[in-house]
Amino acid sequence: MIFVNYPNHHRPPKEWLETANKITAEMTAAYRAACEKIGEAKASNCSSESGVGAADLTECYSIIEKHKGFWGELRGWLEEFSLHKCWFSEAKNAASYWHVEHFRPKKSAKEPTRQGYWWLAFDFKNYRLCGSAVNSPKGAYFPLKEGTSASIGPLHNCDDEWNVLIDPTRKADVDLITFSEGGIAVPNSADPWGQHRAQVSIERYNLNTHSAFVRARANLWERCETFCNDLITRISERKEAESKGIFSKSTEIDIENLKQKIRQLTLPGEEFSGVARAYLLQHPSAEVRSQLG
């Protein structure tokens, strides 16, 4: 997993935003009407837990269903942020076809089961691009840290929630996962809360259970190992030759070619580049570690 710098001050096309705002306004009106039906004096008071908890959100969910294909129009736009990779797995083809995933579930959330974040259904900042192999097990699963109050209306600040699942658009979140021997995803935190978030995310995002991910990362780990071993060997041979006053241009070319191959694997646009970076960072040789692209 690598950090996806999203939205990085970018916005979807103007026409898409205008339509999204209209749909959200329609849902908000339905929400206020539902609140008024349960005796709230003012629609603005619907941020209170009592009002929202009892409000009938059927109409809001109906509006979401009516426009459920709309967020898919941003699929191509979202791909550019991750250089055409799944934001969670870093897969290109191994993740199957693309989904525009709602990080905070739009209609219902699970663990525990509660209402969804309907007001974020057409908020592009809540979108994440992922393959079906990630989205299917994730679904509406969105647990929060024990003691955290869930946002229950548009006037609540979702940033106050302590979500369990790792968000690829947050650098500190992404750093909670690394890879070990064979490209296996593992927690990368000494903090119990960070470990828990990583373990749950690895399981829920299918990172170690989807066979295509596992095979591809294992193959990449092996390629890194081969290139790095060859690099160390060639550098050692060069030092030995130079100690005898022997200098070889072809050896220098071999070493530079190997360095280039290693650096290439760590570049953001490469599939599963997080695995290659993890391999290099854990390598005992400073010469190898310095090849991070």
pLDDT of residue 35: 85
Q: Whole-prediction pTM value?
A: 0.91
Query: DSSP letter at 70?
Result: S
> What contacts 24+ positions apart, CB below 8 Å, involve 185-193?
185/1, 185/217, 193/145
Q: Is 206 left (phi over 0), alpha (psi -120 to 50) or beta?
A: left
Q: CA nearest 120: which of 99, 96, 103, 133?
A: 103
d(CA 180, CA 282): 9
Bridge partners, residue 100, by sequence: 129
pLDDT of residue 93: 78
* H helix or E strand, kind and range, residue 79: helix 75-79
pLDDT of residue 95: 59
Bridge partners, residue 163, by sequence: 144
> Would you give per-residue pLDDT tens digits along the chain (293 residues)?
889 999 999 999 999 999 999 999 999 999 999 888 876 544 444 544 444 454 689 999 999 999 999 999 999 999 999 999 999 999 997 656 899 999 999 999 999 999 999 999 999 999 999 999 999 999 999 999 999 999 988 888 999 999 999 999 999 999 999 999 999 999 999 999 999 999 999 999 999 999 999 999 999 999 999 999 999 999 999 999 999 999 999 999 999 999 999 999 999 999 999 999 999 999 999 999 999 86
* CA angle, residues 203, 209, 214, in degrees to nearest 5: 120
Residue 130, SS3 per DSSP: strand
DSSP string, 171-219: HHHHTTEEEEGGGEEEE--SSHHHHHHHHHHHHHTTTTT-HHHHHHHHH
- 130: which residues sit within 8 A by CB, 6+ positions away? 86, 87, 88, 89, 95, 98, 99, 101, 138
Residue 38, SS3 per DSSP: coil
Separation of CA 225 from chain center:
26
